[in-house]
Each structure stands twice: as structure tokens, then as C-alpha cells.
Amino acid sequence: KNQVEQSPQSLIILEGKNCTLQCNYTVSPFSNLRWYKQDTGRGPVSLTIMTFSENTKSNGRYTATLDADTKQSSLHITASQLSDSASYICVVSSHNAGNMLTFGGGTRLMVKP
Amino acid sequence: ETGVTQTPRHLVMGMTNKKSLKCEQHLGHNAMYWYKQSAKKPLELMFVYNFKEQTENNSVPSRFSPECPNSSHLFLHLHTLQPEDSALYLCASSQEQGIKTGELFFGEGSRLTVL
């Protein structure tokens, strides 16, 4: 069964600090992995996409990594800001019929001043 | 602004009411989706429409009835819901479903409360 597990479920950090969110998946065959950011009361918005051949990709203060061998991805946030407070959702796409998407449960991040 | 608009943003209804959620996308996409988001659970796919044809119905109870009159509009008709149906209902669109699914563009969601 395809699964995506995210950790931690929730995280509180101080403004200016760094943090790393984890995503482990058992989806097969793997197509790509996306990280979405969901602000409270809003819909998710894509931050970055990782394909099989990519190890690291940055989007501003966000850096995603992918290890296709261990089926793990991480999202590192540098110099956190209050606006980073949100849920971060890992979504893995599979190369099967319909290009099925499997969603993780998300990590809820709170950045405090 | 993601190009996907959902109305209403908030809805409170009794178990015997009939209501509808509306979604409109201005991105020229051909696939539209309904997702349910409950507290502390992953997003659950409910329905998928690709080029106006329903391609997935993820074992959703018949009290939820989707309608897709064209590639830009998607409705979710609600009838005799249960309190456990209270959740955030998210509409999304993508270029197509399948190999070209690509990025999902979500609306802001409709927060539904069933009393």
C-alpha cells in the first residue's frame, strides 16, 4: 500500500531559527515528490517538486532534499519567519494509471517571536 | 490568488438541508478535483473530473453528488449530511489527470459544519 509519513506532526520554533521537516514514503513506482505549504484557512500551495534524479532544490529559504534509495525527503527552512507558520504537506506521485497522488498528514509548524 | 475560486468559504447546515459548493478555475486546466480535509488526517480524494468526465469516485457516500458542467466549473451537491462530514472541502485543478497531472492548484476551501 502506498503511504507517506511525515514527522514531526507539529513543531514550535523561535523566529530566526532553522528547522527540518521529514517525509518518508513507500510509493512505487515513484514519479515525483512535491512539498506544499498550507496557511491556516487557505488551500495548499506548491513550494517545490523533486524528481527521481534530483537530490537538492532550493526555493528562497526553503531547501528540499530527496534520497530515492531510502525513499526519504526533507524540507529545511532557514532563518524562519513568522509567516512560515503553516502546515507543510508532502505529496508523492506514482507512475501508475491516473498518476496517483499520495498525501502525507502534514507537519504543523508554528514560528514564535 | 491561485486562480481557483471556491464559494461559499463557510457553510453551516442541518442534516436535512440541501446545499451546494461551487468551484471555478481560470487556469485553462482540464482536470478538477474535490478533496476532503479533516483535522489531523491527510487530504482525502473524493472525485476527479478529466475533460468533464468523472474518472474517479473514491467510494464517496451518495449524499455527496458532484457535477462538472464544463472544464472550468465543478460543484459538490450536499444532501442529508452527517456531523462527521464537517470538514474543509478543497477544490483543485491541474493541467490534466494522468501523466500530465503536474502541480495541483487549490482553492481556499469551503469550511462545512453540519449540525
B51-96 residue pLDDT tens: 888 888 888 999 999 999 999 999 999 999 999 999 999 999 998 7
Residue of A nearest to B43 (CA): A103
In chain B, % of residues over pLDDT 70: 96
Mutate one of B23, B24, B35, B37 to test the A interface: name it (highest A CB count within 10 A).
B37
Long-range contacts of B4-9 (CB under 8 A, 24+ apart): B4/A43, B4/B91, B4/B92, B4/B93, B4/B105, B4/B106, B4/B107, B5/B107, B5/B108, B6/B89, B6/B90, B6/B91, B6/B107, B6/B108, B6/B109, B6/B110, B7/B110, B8/B110, B9/B108, B9/B109, B9/B110, B9/B111
How far off is chain B from A93, nearest CA to CA, in Å?
A: 9
pLDDT of residue B40: 79
pLDDT, mean of residues A78-101: 89
Average pLDDT, chain A: 93
Q: Do A103 and B4 touch (CB under 8 A)?
A: no
Contact status of B42 with chain A (Cβ, < 8 Å): yes
Q: Give residue A99's pLDDT band: very low, low, confident or very high (50, 70, 90).
A: low
Predicted local distance difference test score (pLDDT) of residue A52: 86
pLDDT tens, residue by residue, A44-70: 999 999 998 889 999 999 999 999 999
Q: Across the interface, do B103 and A49 touch by the CB < 8 Å criterion?
A: yes
- Min Cα separation A45/chain B (Å): 7
